[in-house]
Amino acid sequence: MSSQSEVALDRRTQSGGAGFIGYLTVGYPDLETSIRAGRALIDAGVDIIELGLPYSDPGMDGPVIQYTGQLALEAGTRTRHVMRAVQELAGSVPILVMTYFNPVHRYGVEGFARDLASAGGAGLITPDLIPDEAAAWIAAATQHDLDRVFLVAPSSTDERLRLTADACRGFVYAASTMGVTGERLRVDDTAEVLVARTRAVGAERVCVGLGVSNAAHAREVGSYADGVIVGSALLRALGDGVASMRHLAVELADAAHASRLPGRP
């Protein structure tokens, strides 16, 4: 049976486009506003929401996500608040939590999976966890019917791509360029190649993140990927208020959703 995320992505690709996946840091600029921002994303047409669990040592995050995460931590945001945000937003679109694995390990892998599922969450994205070391999480996620999203990068070997694709449920997260996350002037040319390589080893759905920041990027990435992931640009807009973020989200959603339609510029 297809998962929530798989259904959401397939619906978009079958209608001539790609899914739009929006990332928010829970607790930025405060917990209630981050939840309101999630509702605004849903209203704007997002297909999947990623809720970031703030982390004290975000080695893979770019400056915007690091900044928002630090503010959220200083305001007291913890795992229980992320679970609350999931519960508040679940029901309209799949809600995935994105987190480094240490907070999950400290919480208890089985307990985290149980509580995430109970809150209505669809699964987990774990950027620093590789399938070889994920046996406990894969078992817990399987037991609680949760997506398991792992990352691939341009440096990944074909064997690593195959291992990751086999371990994922929901989609494979393709990092479009090497290095940390963040907005870029253009999406790295290696993204399309990485998507093709990942599909060639068996991945059914591949979504691209890292660097997508405007409608042109979303349209380009959506022409070859199953989903377009945007984080830093949305958070930057959120700094100007929920309405500003929603305006950008509408543009991104429209571009992703129509990215494969005939005659689309």
- Catalytic residue numbers, as ranges: 50, 61
Reduce the DSSP state of residue 100 to 3 states and report it.
Answer: coil
94 by DSSP, 3-state: which? coil
Q: What are the Cα distances from residue 68, in Å, to 98, 135, 141, 175?
A: 14, 31, 28, 21
CB–CB of 134/148 below 8 Å?
A: yes
Instruction: List the 151-152 sheet strands across, edge first.
Output: 147-149, 123-125, 95-98, 48-52, 19-25, 227-230, 206-209, 172-175, 151-152
Calculate the dihedral angle through the C-alpha atoms of 170, 175, 181, 183, rounding to the nearest 10 degrees: -100
- For tokens 């792992």, name the residue: 150
* CA-to-CA separations, 6 to 1, 3, 124, 206, 212, in angstroms, rounded: 10, 5, 14, 10, 21
C-alpha distances in angstroms, 137 versus 72, 111, 131?
Answer: 26, 11, 9
Residue with tokens 């981050």: 34
Strands annotated E in the chain? 19-25, 48-52, 95-98, 123-125, 147-149, 151-152, 172-175, 206-209, 227-230
DSSP three-state, residue 47: coil
